[in-house]
Amino acid sequence: MKFARILAGTALAALALTSPAPAQDASTVKLALIDGQSGPNGFIGESMRQHLQFFAERKNAAGGVLGGRKFDVVAFDNKFDPQETIVQLQKAIDAGARYVFHGNSSAVAGAIVDFLEKHNRRNPDKSVLYINFAALDPVLTNDKCSFWHFRFDADVNIRTAAITNQIQKDPSIKKVYLFNQDYSFGKAVRAAATQMLKDKRPDIQIVGDELIPLQKVTDFTPYIAKIRATGADAVISANWGNDLNQLVKTGGELGLPVKWFTYFANGEGGVTALGAAGVGRVFAVSEWHMNVPEATSEKMAEEFGKKFNRDLFFYRLNTVITMLAQSMDEAKTTDPKAVALKLETMAFKTPLGDTYVRAQDHQFYQPLYVSVMSDDVPKKLEKTPFGFKTVGMSAAKETEVPTTCKMQRP
């Protein structure tokens, strides 16, 4: 789906470009989370909201920003739909939000970027900054890069590089099946995996390339049969939500003997759905996981678990909130343009290692871990006997990928 078409079909978009935004409470800085909060995958949006609130409250308790102003997190339900996103984005702006957080769906991310480019050009005194912490289509920091967009997660190319590095080291893998969702993100994964496998392991045969309708499949049995028929040794899948959990769960129930290289299997619901079938077979790539031995994150994970009765996953949001607050303090204002100019050149040392934003395209770089599901780890997930353990790690500099971004600056 082309991002421009999303906006063209949204009747409220034109009005949104000139709608007035009331001044927000001077004692707070409103952070609008625009993501799915309802439906079968609403638990993901709920988790995002709780993570953002948790880290914002920690920062508030430590003194907030600019001498005491507090972050105020407000969630807007976009129902995982690009058109509904524009409606909710306008509501957020009308409510005084100048900072928008979003994660699920690169199609939604593209709609937000297009909208804010127009809005900020026409309303320079009411500009809005977009913090993307989970939408991974590389186009967002390449041909569609925007001064008003920062991505604080590893994109498709970065994650796929980590995954294919792991596959490269495994001589038992001779045949790979690609299984992804049929939208921009899944297609980007397909392209990246195909090229990187060719470059790193030209002996590997890609025996299948499946794109499924996003969150529409209810029975994965026929797909498991197709994968089995190819003799695949491994499956690369960037599916998320039920499209991932049910796929791998069905494969385990039917005894499909493959390794699953995923982007999100260590996310909420993963180990519960996969069970023992995932042990030693399901891999994930992330900036952190529960069994990374680091005292500060271990304490945060414990606090988060007690507060919300779920496992900490979006560790990166702690880094985002910290860097955003530091940018505001250095800029001595919450004006999005001034803050962006500080944020885009920021290097920040976390307990896990050095991180930084690349000013050229506003892509954030951080250490990455490849982990495998295990029943032999100290920290378990979701009250199961399972968790993830590290099998590979890359420093931030080692994950850099080229960009074609030619950013237009205000």
Q: Which CATH number fits the domain that encloses residue 236?
A: 3.40.50.2300
Residue 209 belongs to some domain of the structure: yes
What letters, b where the CB count within 10 A reaches 16 and e where it falls short, cover 361-373? bbbbbbbbbbbbb
Same domain, 134 and 12: yes
Residues 143 and 161 in one domain: no
Query: Do residues 30 and 146 both lie within one domain?
Result: yes
- The answer to whether position 291 is within a domain reads no
pTM: 0.87
Range of the domain at 71: 3-154+298-365
Q: Model confidence over 273-305: pLDDT tens digits? A: 888 889 999 999 999 999 999 999 999 999 999
Distances (CA, A) of 403 to 116, 164, 371, 394: 22, 19, 27, 19
Q: Is residue 322 part of a domain?
A: yes
Assigned domain for 406 exists? no
**pLDDT value of position 277:** 83
106 and 182 co-located in one domain: no
Shared domain check, 130 and 90: yes
Residue 410 resides in a domain: no
Q: Please report whether residue 408 resides in a domain.
A: no
Same domain, 225 and 169: yes
Element (H, E) at 336: helix 336-343
Low-confidence ranges of the chain (pLDDT < 70): 1-25
One domain for residues 54 and 40: yes
Half-sphere exposure of 20 (CA within 13 A, CB side): 2
The tokens describing 234, both together, are: 């491994």
- Asked if 259 and 312 sit in the same domain, the reply is no
User: Where are the strands (E) in 39-171, listed by range?
Assistant: 70-77, 99-102, 129-132, 149-151
The reported pLDDT for the residue numbered 10 is: 41
178 and 246 share a domain? yes
Q: Would you state the pLDDT for residue 15?
A: 36
CA dihedral of residues 199, 138, 81, 247 (deg, nearest 10): 20
Total domain count, the chain: 2
Judge if 135 and 26 occupy the same domain. yes
- Shared domain check, 70 and 142: yes
Which candidate, 199, 207, 203, places its Cα nearest to that of 172? 203
pLDDT score, position 25: 62
pLDDT computed for residue 245 by the predictor: 86
Q: Are 88 and 111 in contact (CB under 8 A)?
A: no
- Same domain membership, residue 119 and residue 17: yes
